[in-house]
Amino acid sequence: MKHSSAKPFNRCRLATGLFGTAMFFCLLLFSCSISRQQHNAKKADFHVLAFYTAKADLAHISFVHEANDWFSQMAEKNQYTYDSTNNWNRLHQDSLKNYQVILFLDTRPETPEQRRAFEQYMKNGGAWMGFHFAAFALTPSDYPQNWDWYHEEFLGCGPYKSNTWRPTSAILRVENRKHPVTRSLPETFTSAPNEWYRWENDLRARPDIDILLSIDPGSFPLGTGPKPHEIWHEGYYPVVWTNRRYRMLYVNMGHNDMDYEGGTNLALSATFRIEVHNQLILNGLRWLGAGK
């Protein structure tokens, strides 16, 4: 029998070569990903840090998860970076100095050290956006009104007074069409379902408060009850405002409708499915991130 002089096929060598090639491309992709992240961080116009608790209410928890997803998705195309944390101890000077905008997605800081750090941050020119429950204060409750600077001076609204139930959509009216946050919005638009708050203080009597959006009378009756006081039939209710002494924006939206009665506890609505609302938030974020 004639034997071939050709070298035998080396499967081990081929496998090693393919593995090496695969590893090379994996490392290349990883390197490109890191470079892209570094490039995005360098070209970002500003950096955002969001604080949340996500423990008190399923509707608030639903909103927090939705907000974190949405702000992350919007970050690259809108030239900002987005970090979020439930560690409120990061509310200190060494951490805050790295961020131009702070968000409170559901609650507020509770320790004296955290509160002093936030107050100093704002007085030194920092920027803040807060949602819904971030302004809540009721004595007695787990969130009493025990922080005068925040509730009386900074937000201006004072303690919580009452709310609508159940969460329903409302027609919102733009009160100030010259402000950068609302300039591109229509005169009125319909919100996602929300639990609407009213406050002890009349914000119209506060000279530093600029009311940007309020509930349009076309929304009444607002709420479905079952308790009569949970249904609003008249009145004036600001839902978005800013304080001219600070770079801040408060937004009353932030409570999704939930299937409590059906027992599934699943979200029945989504705050960030309303495009006009999303434009409002992006306008606000850009305005805050742009600095003084």
122-174 pLDDT, tens digit each = 999 999 999 999 999 999 999 999 999 999 999 999 999 999 999 999 999 99
Contacts of 107 (CB under 8 A, 6+ apart): 51, 52, 53, 56, 133, 134, 136, 143
Residue-wise pLDDT for 232-256, tens only, equals: 999 999 999 999 999 999 999 999 9
Secondary structure (3-state) at 278? helix
Instruction: Say what the pTM is.
Output: 0.86
Question: Band of the pLDDT at 40, cuts 50, 70, 90?
Answer: very low
**166 cis-preceded (ω within 30 degrees of 0):** yes
Sign, CA torsion 110/159/251/197 = positive
pLDDT of residue 148: 98
pLDDT of residue 56: 79
Does domain 45-289 correspond to CATH entry 3.40.50.880? yes
In angstroms, the CA 119 to CA 99 distance is: 15
Q: Are strands 197-199 and 160-163 parallel, antiparallel or unpaired?
A: antiparallel
Hunting for tokens 């909103």 — which residue is that?
63
